[in-house]
Structure formats: structure tokens, C-alpha cells
Amino acid sequence: MYNKTLTAALAVAILGSGAAFAADKPGADWISLEQAVEKAKAAGYTELHGIEADDNGWEGEGMKQDGKKYEFSIDGRTGEVTKEKLD
């Protein structure tokens, strides 16, 4: 399990690196960016290359444990990973 400090540091590193810029603003009832990062990690992402608010949720790119790069979507309200596609 990842602690909150590590999650916050990861989110800051992603945003601070210029890897992600929010295309849209998160909805008022959405999970936070930190929670979206946790959901991505729980889904097997070992490295995130970017994550941003878009339409109905969070979208991003990252590397999974299999060493392949994927695009993913996370529902903004439920935190469920709704799409994963090889990049």
C-alpha cells in the first residue's frame, strides 16, 4: 500500500515535470488527483507519464508491470478504470 506522502510526491512530480496539463477542470464531485494516482497504481501502473482531467474523468498514460505503455481512463466519480489501451 502506498502512503499519502508518496502519492502526493508522485502527483507533484508528474505535474511539476510538465508531463501533464489539465485539459479540463475536475468536477466538484470527482475523486482527487491523488486518489486517481492511487487508483492507477492499484490497477498495476508502476510508472505514470501524465494524468489530466478530461470530460468525465481522469485520463493518463503509464507503464504497467508488463513493461508496456498504456493509455487509461478513470471515472471521475467512482475511480473505476474504464479504459486501458496499448499506446
pLDDT one-digit tens code per residue, 13-64: 554 444 444 458 999 999 999 999 999 999 999 999 999 999 899 999 999 9
pLDDT of res. 14: 52
- Determine contact, residues 39/57, Cβ cutoff 8 Å: no
- Using CB atoms within 10 Å of the CB of residue 62, give its burial: 0 to 12 exposed, 13 to 18 middle, 19+ buried: buried
Q: Which domains does the chain have, with CATH numbers?
A: 4-86 (3.10.450.40)
- pTM above the 0.95 mark? no
